[in-house]
Chains A and B, each alone.
Chain A
Amino acid sequence: RKEVEQDPGPFNVPEGATVAFNCTYSNSASQSFFWYRQDCRKEPKLLMSVYSSGNEDGRFTAQLNRASQYISLLIRDSKLSDSATYLCVVLPRSGSARQLTFGSGTQLTVLP
């Protein structure tokens, strides 16, 4: 089983739609969680951290469910500019060499 799993998509949604992505992780000792965004042929960029209580940043809402070991990202009122690949990222709690583990990404295309 992969450490971080995401539905690769693609998700094709019309402008204005609400879309949600899920991500599951296998290491129950994981400490920190993030969503990164990667545009086509560009570098990944941090979109938002994911906190235990859930957090919101404008049209984006991130949720964490530790019991079920999944993270979600909800995008409301989709814009054309939201088209990108969304990467779920996990950091373990401890270990001599903690490192970010990236999911393979979920591709989103927002259509006019």
Chain B
Amino acid sequence: DTAVSQTPKYLVTQMGNDKSIKCEQNLGHDTMYWYKQDSKKFLKIMFSYNNKELIINETVPNRFSPKSPDKAHLNLHINSLELGDSAVYFCASSQVYGTGNQPQHFGDGTRLSIL
């Protein structure tokens, strides 16, 4: 009965490969997010989707492509992986987009290591 689940938890792969991370939430939330947390622990938003529509697309290389087949899922596909992509990627969801007091619920994170 995990609220926000993302897979895989760990991903070790070589430079140049293409990989996907999946995220699902069973909270009935309207909005989902992808964050990247680098080695300095700085958590930075990458994308936000509200009811399957892209709302936020921060300055992220176009090798990163999110896809939301329905409002309960937000997947992240990464092409041509680079060393600098090594980080922890967190998926999150919240009830109503932009509402201040609605907390975001985070998944466990996907630890991506590029060899």
A: which residues have CB within 8 A of B?
31-32, 34, 38, 41-46, 49, 85, 87, 91, 97-102, 104-105
Bound state CA distance, A19 and B11, in angstroms?
37
Interface of chain B, main secondary structure:
loop
- Provided the pairs A42-B108, A43-B109, A45-B106 are in contact, do residues A100 and B45 lie with their beta carbons within 8 angstroms? yes
Bound state CA distance, A85 and B101, in angstroms?
21
When C-beta atoms are compared, the residue in chain B nearest to A44 turns out to be B106
B: which residues have CB within 8 A of A?
33, 40-45, 48, 55-56, 90, 97-98, 100-101, 103-104, 106-109
Question: Are A43 and B90 in touch, CB under 8 angstroms?
Answer: yes
Interchain nearest-CB distance for A48 vs B (Å): 10
Question: Are B56 and A104 in touch, CB under 8 angstroms?
Answer: no
Question: Are B41 and A105 in touch, CB under 8 angstroms?
Answer: yes
